Amino acid sequence: MENVLIEKVLTRNIGPDQTPTDMAAYEANGGYRALHKVMAGMTPNDCLEVVKASNLRGRGGAGFPTGMKWSFVPMGEKCTPGHKYLVTNADEMEPGTFKDRLLMECDPHQLIEGMILAAYTIEADRSYIFIRGEYVVAIERLEQALVDCYKKGYLGENILGSGYDLEMHVHTSAGRYICGEETALINALEGKRANPRAKPPFPQVSGLWGRPTIVNNVETLCNIPHIIDRGAEWFQSLGIGEDSGTKMFGASGHVKNPGCWELPMGTPIREILEQHAGGMTDGRKLKGFLPGGGSTDFLVEEHLDLPMDYGSIGAAGSRMGTGTMIILDDKTCPVGMVLNLIRFFAHESCGFCTPCREGLPWTRQVLEDIEAGRGRKEDLDTLVRQVKYIGSMGNTHCALAPGAMEPLQSALKYFQSDFEAHVEQGCCPYAADMKAQDITTVQGERA
Amino acid sequence: MSEHQLIQSDIALSAEEIRQIDVELAHIPQKSGAAIDALKIVQSQRGWVSDEALVAIARYLDMSPEALEGVATFYNLIYRQPVGDKVVLFCDSVSCWICGCDGVKQKISEKLGVDYGETTADNQYTLIPVPCLGACDKAPVMMVGDDLHTNLDDQKIDQIFAKRTGEGEDC
Ligand SMILES: Cc1cc2nc3c(=O)[nH]c(=O)nc-3n(C[C@H](O)[C@H](O)[C@H](O)COP(=O)(O)O)c2cc1C
Ligand code: SF4
Ligand code: FES
């Protein structure tokens, strides 16, 4: 059941068949109108004020207010001479996250227009799309879109006669989840190993090549043309609760209709799962879910009526993260699911600091033992201790390790009896169900 | 002996590789900044990055081979060992796991006779696990070369790797 009243903004050019939107189609539907408006007479500060007033918050996971982030960039005379950079974070490797791919594959110009406007606002003259190498279709379409933009005079020197110059490049990454962390991303762009940098200095002041740099998520930047075009008040009115705008929400796992939908910020979780995702597949019940990717805390059935916005999900002990939910059902082992996530994080640790590099493999080992039926009762206490040490912000150099602990700490809280059952029975109580799925359901239920 | 002669004594970068690396260098303030781009460019031409190719890139970017090796080994999409004609990037992350990717992986291993990190005897495929491919609504998924394959099950694996059992064309 589609709600006809929902206004599509980010996906207004994205139909069910997901045909890519080219320059002509993009412009025919109001594309680059904001760019013309700005180049015809808005100052960078005018743009900044609109974005600030819109209350747009970063869609990369942390929800930091975008206007405030941009306001830390030294401007005009206050900035030492040299380049400034605007970088799109298109690394999208957070497990269970699949929204930026759709936005880039189906409407590359929307991102590019957002980037030009953002770059203009911070007076950047160089910009990069840092995109994971596996996104070959998105890379191809973005590169074509860049060529079209240079031809039209939307990029390059003296954009639309305004005197403003901007270069834009696609940088394809060579892998590793840690590249999504913004200071690690900057090191990767400099051709180095992607270890995160110490903050301060913050990238807004000293980022790429020591110059002021803004890193924003794809979805964040896709909002900018609409905010500039239609104003801060309009953008605020799109959200149902305190937060502004729309959001790309998604659901994966054993739901009838897994997918990604643009809905008002603050849409109740139940509506996303039941109306849009179609509810659980037959024979399975909801056991829990990660609201926004692999490094967010589990929520459970009692949270279904919460609105998906930063404050509400935060108050419930989790994070909205990327907004793409991973659904755990009653036939899938929660210990196994957490083990899968910890394996991922242990593998993706950049190795820079000890709690993460040594701690995560230890956690993985403990979980492997429990899942395989070799666990002892003390192991559960060990896990609690590990959560405390590895998960405390400040014990590690970046947020990867604390993020890794979020699904574990909440699983210990909500699914404690499952952990205990593994230890008491000396095996995984879900083994039979999981084996059955390997043989049948993959073919059966997912057309 | 000049630096120029030293370069010539090793494997040289091709004109095309140099052209592509120079495009990147044009917007990067320091030569070493193009390290990852250069590794990817050479890999796209040669399939992988051999020791000799690594030395050639390092020389071209005024880097020590050791420093470049440190960069190359950090990134999982830079192959420092030969790979087959196509790399199979198999997603083993959480949504694919929930949707039964372990069983699909087993099927692929049986079909191709390889485990993770191995290349088929005929050099066609190398199987490598990869983090979430951002297609979790179509789990389980994998990439074969540049192509994304979604909603994998045993039948799909049979179709995708059909040629290997003489049943028809790969798709
Ligand atoms: C380990 C780790 C991985 C991250 N991966 C991504 C990513 O793939 N994409 C992204 O946009 N942000 C990612 N982030 C968040 C970025 O560091 C940064 O906060 C974000 O790009 C800022 O954009 P925003 O302000 O528009 O949200 C990651 C953070 C951490 C700690
Ligand atoms: S927490 Fe992990 S990923 Fe982050 S800097 Fe430390 S070792 Fe690297
Ligand atoms: S978990 Fe496999 S594509 Fe996301």
Using the Cα atoms of residue B136, residue B138, residue B142 and residue B146 in order, give the sign of their dihedral: negative
Residue A168 and residue A85: Cα distance in Å, rounded? Answer: 10
Instruction: Give chain A's mean pLDDT.
Output: 95
| Backbone torsions φ then ψ of A332, nearest 5 degrees | -110, 135
Ligand 3 centroid to residue B96 C-alpha, Å? 5
Burial track A26-45 (b if 16+ CB lie within 10 A, e otherwise):
beeeebbbbbeebbeebebe
Read off the pLDDT of residues A287-328 as tens digits, 9 standing for 90 and up.
Answer: 999 999 999 999 999 999 999 999 999 999 999 999 999 999
Nearest ligand atom owner, CA of A68: 1
Taking residues A16-44, report their average pLDDT: 97
- A84 and A126 in contact (C-beta within 8 Å)? yes
Backbone angle region of A222, left / alpha / beta, with phi > 0 → left and psi within -120 to 50 → alpha: alpha
Nearest ligand atom owner, CA of A92: 1
Collapsing DSSP states into helix, strand and coil, what is residue A130? strand
Does residue A253 belong to the interface with chain B, where contact is any CB pair within 8 Å?
Answer: yes
pLDDT reported for residue A131: 98
3-state DSSP helix/strand/coil % of chain A, to nearest 5 = 45, 15, 40
Q: Report residue A436's pLDDT band, with 50, 70 and 90 as the boundaries.
A: confident
Tell me the nearest-neighbour CA distance from A46 into chain B, angstroms. 29
Report which of A279, A277, A299, A281 is spatially closest to residue A289, judged by C-alpha positions.
A299
Closest approach atom of ligand 2 to CA A178: 3
Token representation of residue B151: 């909603």
B98:A94 CB<8 A: no
- A396 and A423 in contact (C-beta within 8 Å)? no
Protein residue whose Cα sits closest to atom 1 of ligand 1: A400
> Residue A210 carries which DSSP code?
G
Q: Residue B155: its chain A contacts at CB < 8 A?
A: 443
Does residue A377 belong to the interface with chain B, where contact is any CB pair within 8 Å?
Answer: no
Note the residue count of chain A: 447
Residue A205 and residue A195: Cα distance in Å, rounded? Answer: 19
Q: Residue B102: its chain A contacts at CB < 8 A?
A: 438
Read off the pLDDT of residues B7-56 as tens digits, 9 standing for 90 and up.
Answer: 444 678 999 999 999 999 999 999 999 999 999 999 999 999 999 999 99
Protein residue whose Cα sits closest to atom 5 of ligand 1: A180
Which of A94, A183, A350 to mutate to test ligand 2, by most ligand atoms within 8 A of the CB atom?
A: A350
Residue A260 and residue A263: Cα distance in Å, rounded? Answer: 10
Read off the pLDDT of residues B105-141 as tens digits, 9 standing for 90 and up.
Answer: 999 999 999 999 999 999 999 999 999 999 999 999 9
User: What ipTM score was computed for the predicted complex, to two decimals?
Assistant: 0.95
Taking residues A423-435, report their average pLDDT: 94
Taking residues B54-76, report their average pLDDT: 97
Name residue A288's beta-bridge partners. A328
CA dihedral B102, B108, B110, B112 (to 10 degrees): -150
Residue A94 and residue A293: Cα distance in Å, rounded? Answer: 6
Read off the pLDDT of residues A102-161 as tens digits, 9 standing for 90 and up.
Answer: 999 999 999 999 999 999 999 999 999 999 999 999 999 999 999 999 999 999 999 999
pLDDT reported for residue A439: 52
Between CA B60 and CA B70, with CA B65 as vertex, the angle to 5 degrees is: 120
A97:B134 CB<8 A: yes
Q: Which of A173-182, A396-405, A429-438, B19-28 has the lowest mean pLDDT?
A: A429-438
Q: Containing H/E element for A327?
A: strand A324-329
Nearest to A98 among B35, B130, B135 (CB): B135
Res. A447: pLDDT tops 60: no
Taking the model in full, what pTM does it have? 0.95
User: Does residue A398 line the site of ligand 2, with CB under 6 A?
Assistant: yes
B76:A174 CB<8 A: yes
Burial track A369-403 (b if 16+ CB lie within 10 A, e otherwise):
bbbeeebeeebbebbeebbeebbeeebbbbebbbb
Res. A38: pLDDT tops 60: yes
Distances (CA, A) of A353 to A176, A198, A399, A404: 17, 12, 12, 14
Residue A355 and residue A352: Cα distance in Å, rounded? Answer: 9
Residue A206 and residue A132: Cα distance in Å, rounded? Answer: 24
Residue A65 and residue A51: Cα distance in Å, rounded? Answer: 9
A437:B95 CB<8 A: no
Tell whether omega for the bond before B140 is within 30 degrees of 0, i.e. cis: yes
State the burial class of residue A79 (Cβ atoms within 10 Å of its Cβ: 0-12, 13-18, 19+): middle
Closest approach atom of ligand 1 to CA A400: 1
Tell me the nearest-neighbour CA distance from B75 into chain A, angstroms. 5
Q: Which of B95, B99, B133, B152 to mutate to test the interface with A (most CBs of A within 10 A)?
A: B95
Closest approach atom of ligand 3 to CA B95: 1
Q: Report residue A433's pLDDT band, with 50, 70 and 90 as the boundaries.
A: confident
Q: Report residue B2's pLDDT band, with 50, 70 and 90 as the boundaries.
A: very low
Using the Cα atoms of residue B133, residue B136, residue B141 and residue B147 in order, give the sign of their dihedral: negative
Collapsing DSSP states into helix, strand and coil, what is residue A265? coil
Q: At what angle do helices A416-425 and A334-348 cross, to 10 degrees?
A: 100
Protein residue whose Cα sits closest to atom 18 of ligand 1: A182
Q: Report residue A9's pLDDT band, with 50, 70 and 90 as the boundaries.
A: very high
Q: Report residue A6's pLDDT band, with 50, 70 and 90 as the boundaries.
A: confident
Taking residues A22-38, report their average pLDDT: 98
User: Does residue A346 line the site of ligand 2, with CB under 6 A?
Assistant: no
Question: What's CA A427's distance to the chain center, in Å?
Answer: 35
Q: Which of A103, A193, A331 to mutate to test the interface with B (most CBs of B within 10 A)?
A: A193
- Paired sense of beta strands A126-131 and A85-90, if any: parallel
Q: Which of A86, A97, A134 to mutate to test the interface with B (most CBs of B within 10 A)?
A: A134
B94:A337 CB<8 A: yes
Read off the pLDDT of residues A56-108 as tens digits, 9 standing for 90 and up.
Answer: 999 999 999 999 999 999 999 999 999 999 999 999 999 999 999 999 999 99
B100:A344 CB<8 A: no
Tell me the nearest-neighbour CA distance from B93 into chain A, angstroms. 6
User: Does residue A390 line the site of ligand 2, with CB under 6 A?
Assistant: no
User: Does residue A181 line the site of ligand 1, with CB under 6 A?
Assistant: yes
Which residues have a Cβ under 8 Å from the Cβ of A139 and sit 6 or more positions away?
A131, A133, A170, A172
